[in-house]
């Protein structure tokens, strides 16, 4: 039986929906990996009563650990440290060493913003050095220190107090993990491994069937905590297990691979973006997009270092742009329509020529909500991925959802077609590999 843990996210701007909380889910994953059972994420505004009420609720539920996010700033509505002190039965004291540390950090900031009043800042940030007596301080990554606070009477949860900005919270969670207090709270907790399998082109109900079949075939699924999630058209199977359950996990992924080998594209945690970037290592790429409107180029260039292989792209929205920028024959558009496999192919080859690229992608489709017809409905998208003088694939798919869904999913489809073509190319370079069966156009 694992110890339970709670996550308390504070901030009126989070509660009111002005900011989407990302700390709760992130901390939930970390707590799981640390062998705890995160039972709740609770979001409250900056009100003392609500903060204290939430802490007391979690204590009454018998949680071993509570992690809080936010409310550590210098202004009056930043209350977390004080409320946690009250909850733990500890008085608030000024930590002079911490005060000096914060002062040193602020000095470098005020040097960059000469208009600010250093004395006023110093005073308002002294507040950040007032902590529950006996708490362990986590050094600030920004200007706000974190805390690990145990109940004075030894009865109740250990509270880890972290700042709200994710760039500060994440490294400071690692620091908290190294404190004696958290180590004591985690003593005896099993350590966990997480395995992620990713599939593309499979409905979620199908994987539910597979898990039932695995159970019927005698696999020990009770040793595994399996969660499935569909996002952006990909199915992610995330499994948490103790090291001793490695054989059960191995049996599961063998079972999944056997049934869904064609749909499975990753079992080592790599995303399709990772895989495409690796496959592009010795090649260059250019793209011609219509309905995705720049999203494919934006996603390819999202990675640091992508300029090594990404030469450029054209967003050819108008027919004139398809012709002038990607060299698509205007007659082809007139004959088959702008949304057609013929035009997708011409776009891909057009940018291979224009950019002198090794690989070209062409996308043309109807993102909606307008522009659809019976013959070519909203969601219809044509793709070509081509390698100069090499493999090529052309596909037409109909994607569900609204305009932004169609655009985003089309980008994902393009990545999977890229993977397929580039993997075939890689295979073909090996002398023993036969011509891949699906390396056909149309």
| Binding mask of the shown chain, residues 183 to 212, with x at each position contacting a second copy by CB under 8 A | -------------------------x----
80 binds a second copy, rule: CB under 8 A: no
> Tokens 């940018």 correspond to what residue?
351
At 63, is the secondary structure helix, strand, or coil? coil
Q: Are 287 and 360 in contact (CB under 8 A)?
A: yes
Identity of the residue, 107 or 441, whose beta carbon is nearer to a second copy in the bound complex: 107
123 binds a second copy, rule: CB under 8 A: no
What do you get for the CA distance between the two ends of the chain, in Å?
Answer: 55
Identity of the residue, 373 or 435, whose beta carbon is nearer to a second copy in the bound complex: 373
Q: How many residues does the chain have?
A: 442
Q: Are 422 and 280 in contact (CB under 8 A)?
A: yes
Given 87, 310, 383, 415, the residue binding a second copy (CB under 8 A)? 310
Q: Are 75 and 124 in contact (CB under 8 A)?
A: yes
Q: Which long-range CB contacts under 8 A does 347-350 form with residues at least 24 apart?
A: 347/288, 347/290, 347/316, 347/322, 347/384, 348/288, 348/384, 348/385, 348/386, 348/392, 349/384, 349/386, 350/288, 350/325, 350/326
354 binds a second copy, rule: CB under 8 A: yes
Given 293, 327, 337, 372, the residue binding a second copy (CB under 8 A)? 293
Identity of the residue, 372 or 390, whose beta carbon is nearer to a second copy in the bound complex: 372
71 binds a second copy, rule: CB under 8 A: no
CB atoms within 10 A of CB 102: 22
Identity of the residue, 219 or 296, whose beta carbon is nearer to a second copy in the bound complex: 296
Q: What would the DSSP string read from start to end of 146-193?
A: EEEE--TTS-S-EEEEE-SSHHHHHHHHHHHHTSHHHHHHHTTPPP-E
**Interatomic CA distance for residues 81 and 130, integer angstroms:** 8
Given 82, 99, 181, 236, the residue binding a second copy (CB under 8 A)? 236
At 125, is the secondary structure helix, strand, or coil? helix
Identity of the residue, 131 or 344, whose beta carbon is nearer to a second copy in the bound complex: 344
Given 2, 12, 223, 273, the residue binding a second copy (CB under 8 A)? 12
Given 325, 385, 410, 417, the residue binding a second copy (CB under 8 A)? 325
Given 44, 72, 98, 393, the residue binding a second copy (CB under 8 A)? 44
At 18, is the secondary structure helix, strand, or coil? coil
Residues 371-390 that bind a second copy (CB under 8 A): 371
Bridge partners, residue 229, by sequence: 236
Name the nearest CA neighbour of 406 among 373, 346, 364: 364
Name the nearest CA neighbour of 149 among 65, 72, 78: 65
Identity of the residue, 132 or 156, whose beta carbon is nearer to a second copy in the bound complex: 156
Nearest approach in angstroms of CB 428 to a second copy is 27
141 binds a second copy, rule: CB under 8 A: no
29 binds a second copy, rule: CB under 8 A: yes
| Binding mask of the shown chain, residues 267 to 286, with x at each position contacting a second copy by CB under 8 A | -------------------x
How many residues sit in the footprint of a second copy (CB under 8 A)? 78
The 8-class DSSP code of residue 307 comes to G
At 241, is the secondary structure helix, strand, or coil? strand
Nearest approach in angstroms of CB 90 to a second copy is 25
Identity of the residue, 50 or 242, whose beta carbon is nearer to a second copy in the bound complex: 50
Given 68, 80, 143, 292, the residue binding a second copy (CB under 8 A)? 292
Residues 395-414 that bind a second copy (CB under 8 A): 403-404, 407
Nearest approach in angstroms of CB 357 to a second copy is 10
76 binds a second copy, rule: CB under 8 A: no
438 binds a second copy, rule: CB under 8 A: no
Identity of the residue, 215 or 320, whose beta carbon is nearer to a second copy in the bound complex: 320
17 binds a second copy, rule: CB under 8 A: yes
**Span of 41-49, 94-102, 259-267, 417-425 interacting with a second copy by CB under 8 A:** 41-49
**Span of 20-28, 103-111, 269-277, 433-441 interacting with a second copy by CB under 8 A:** 20-28
**Interatomic CA distance for residues 67 and 62, integer angstroms:** 14
**Interatomic CA distance for residues 381 and 363, integer angstroms:** 7
Q: How far is CA 274 from the centre of its chain?
A: 13
Nearest approach in angstroms of CB 331 to a second copy is 20
Identity of the residue, 43 or 279, whose beta carbon is nearer to a second copy in the bound complex: 43
User: How far is the CA of 65 from the CAs of 45, 157, 177, 234, in angstroms?
Assistant: 21, 5, 12, 34
């Amino acid at each position: 039986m694992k110890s339970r843990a709670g996550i308390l996210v504070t901030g009126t701007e989070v509660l009111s929906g002005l900011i989407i909380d990302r700390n709760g889910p992130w901390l939930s994953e970390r707590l799981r990996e640390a062998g705890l059972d995160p039972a709740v994420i609770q979001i409250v505004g900056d009100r003392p009563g609500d903060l204290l009420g939430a802490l007391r609720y979690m204590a009454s539920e018998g949680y071993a650990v509570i992690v809080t996010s936010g409310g550590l700033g210098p202004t009056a509505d930043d209350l977390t440290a004080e409320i946690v002190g009250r909850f733990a039965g500890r008085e608030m004291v000024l930590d002079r060493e911490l005060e000096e540390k914060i002062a040193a950090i602020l000095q470098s900031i005020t040097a960059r913003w000469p208009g600010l009043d250093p004395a006023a800042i110093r005073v308002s940030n002294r507040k950040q050095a007032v902590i529950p007596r006996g708490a362990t301080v986590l050094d600030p990554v920004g200007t706000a220190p974190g805390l690990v606070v145990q109940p004075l009477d030894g009865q109740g949860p250990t509270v880890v107090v972290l700042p709200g900005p994710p760039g500060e919270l994440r490294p400071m969670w690692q620091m908290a993990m190294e404190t004696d207090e958290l180590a004591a709270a985690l003593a005896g907790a099993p350590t966990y491994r997480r395995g992620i399998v990713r599939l593309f082109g499979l409905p979620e109900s199908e994987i539910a069937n597979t898990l039932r079949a695995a159970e019927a075939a005698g696999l020990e699924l009770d040793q595994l905590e399996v969660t499935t999630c569909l996002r952006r058209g990909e199915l992610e199977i995330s499994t948490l297990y103790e090291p001793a359950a490695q054989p059960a996990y191995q049996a599961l992924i063998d079972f999944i691979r056997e049934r869904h080998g064609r749909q499975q594209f990753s079992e080592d945690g790599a995303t399709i973006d990772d895989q495409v970037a690796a496959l592009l290592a010795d090649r260059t790429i250019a793209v011609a997009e219509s309905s995705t409107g720049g999203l494919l180029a934006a996603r390819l260039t999202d990675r640091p270092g992508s300029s090594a292989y990404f030469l450029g792209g054209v967003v050819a929205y108008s027919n004139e742009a398809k012709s002038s920028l990607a060299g698509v024959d205007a007659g082809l558009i007139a004959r088959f329509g702008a949304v057609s496999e013929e035009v997708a192919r011409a776009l891909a080859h057009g940018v291979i020529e224009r950019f002198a690229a090794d690989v070209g992608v062409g996308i043309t489709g109807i993102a909606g909500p307008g522009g659809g017809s019976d013959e070519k409905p909203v969601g219809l998208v044509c793709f070509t991925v081509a390698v100069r003088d090499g493999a090529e694939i052309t596909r037409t798919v109909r994607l569900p959802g609204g305009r932004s869904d169609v655009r985003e999913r089309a980008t994902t489809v393009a990545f999977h077609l890229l993977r397929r073509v580039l993997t075939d190319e890689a295979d073909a370079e090996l002398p023993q590999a036969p011509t891949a069966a699906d390396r056909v156009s149309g």
